[in-house]
Amino acid sequence: MTVTPGPTLTGLVLRHARQAPHEAAVVAGRRSVSYEELFATAQRVCAELLALDLPAESLVGVSAERNESYVAGALGVMLAGCCFVPLDPALPPARIEQLVRRADIGVAVAGGDTASSLRPLVSTLLTADPGEILGGTPAAGTAEWLDELVDRATPAALAYGLFTSGSTGQPKLVGIEHRSICALLDGFDAVAPFRRRVVSSTVCPFSFDASIFEVFISLTRGGTVHVLPDKIAADPGALAVELATRGVTTAYLPPVGLDFLVDELRATGGTELLDRIMVGAEPILLGTLGRLQEVVPPATIVNAYGPTEAAVCSTFHVVRETTDAQRRTPIGKPVRGWTVRVVDDGFVEVPVGVVGEIVVGGAGLARGYLGNPELTAERFITRPDGT
């Protein structure tokens, strides 16, 4: 079996691991993990999953604290041709049990102390804690074993499943394929090209779809992702310092507290490396982003919009004109390969200025709601023109 050509998350990360195995892949606290070390754990997880003889695209839960174990676990699941489902250990135990039952997850990968809470909920529990390469550690300075590592994912296979918030009812498990999330990352590069090695930060809970962007926008480009603790993400002053001292070049900045963060970035300085910023999730005033532009003038600021059902984002707006400070930032144009239309009740596009419903399609569209074919058939529709 050969490595699957084409866009898979694992294939892209593995390609860079082979090219620069000793480069830093994940930094969590004071611990820096190389690509080789990351794949050493991922390979072990993959091998243990393969030994279970699971069907392709089996749903496998991944639960770990905010460190490299989560990333290694997710990679290991995908390497085995399975679909990872993040289970945030910060959630109440009853909520985690609800999600495990709803997704019918029988196998999970845990890191650190999260294992104890998951063990009663699944039939098989694997560990994503750091470990040696199966078959023994190769000679120092070599990483030839990476050339033999097989990516069993395919572009059309499920990469991950994420639960919606459940704000409009019961949480739904959205299934996203490798080619869809890879297209999203390519689409971001198209509107905000990277000018130096990508160093990203992740501040979102791993159960949020923005975290997929945060982690893989760097790893699929051969860069480094800095996993920041929850307390940093909630403290604008501390976050500003971390972005500067860690040399972050690509960041998602959450809307909550963004005005305070802009003030802290101005006071901290040292943000000259920050050249790509994604914002979104909630409406943001142009005035806020105008102030952010003043603080990081070389940066391309992108306002992103879209549902979890369309691979994180559906539209991008590159912020340029911000003179109307009290105006909401536009959601922009469709991500390359996406389609976004405003339609009436008959799914006919309405003229400019007429209220309608946003319908998203194209390269980023989810497979559907996993385990819920009825709701999938209701919400994921084919228009009369076949799109």
Residues 6+ apart with CB under 8 A from 46: 76, 77, 79, 80, 152
> What pLDDT score was predicted for residue 386?
60
- Tens digits of residue pLDDT in 105-139: 999 999 877 888 889 999 999 988 775 444 344 43
- Across 84-122, b (16+ Cβ under 10 Å) vs e yields bbbbbbebeeeebebbbebbebbbbbbbbebbebbeebb
Residues 6+ apart with CB under 8 A from 318: 191, 192, 300, 301, 302, 332
Write out the two tokens for 37. Answer: 């070390």
Q: Of 12, 127, 7, nearest to 70 (Cα)?
A: 127
71/81 Cα distance (integer angstroms): 16
361/358 Cα distance (integer angstroms): 10
> What pLDDT score was predicted for residue 137?
43
> What pLDDT score was predicted for residue 40?
93
- DSSP-derived secondary structure for 310-352: GSS-SEEEE-----STTSBPP--EEPTTEEEEEE-TTSPBPPT
> What pLDDT score was predicted for residue 117?
84
Q: Which helix (H) or strand (E) holds 154?
A: none
* Tens digits of pLDDT across the chain (387 residues): 233 345 899 999 999 999 999 999 999 988 999 999 999 999 999 999 999 999 999 999 999 988 899 999 999 999 999 999 999 998 888 999 999 999 999 999 998 778 888 899 999 999 887 754 443 444 344 578 888 888 999 999 999 999 987 666 678 999 999 999 999 999 999 999 998 899 999 999 999 999 999 999 999 999 999 999 988 888 999 999 999 999 999 999 988 889 999 999 999 887 888 999 999 888 899 999 999 999 998 899 999 999 889 999 999 999 988 888 888 999 999 999 999 988 888 888 888 888 888 889 999 999 999 999 999 998 898 766 666
> What pLDDT score was predicted for residue 4?
39
> What pLDDT score was predicted for residue 113?
79
332/334 Cα distance (integer angstroms): 7
Q: What is residue 226's three-state secondary structure? A: strand
> What pLDDT score was predicted for residue 239?
93
- Number of neighbours of residue 163 by Cβ within 10 angstroms: 23
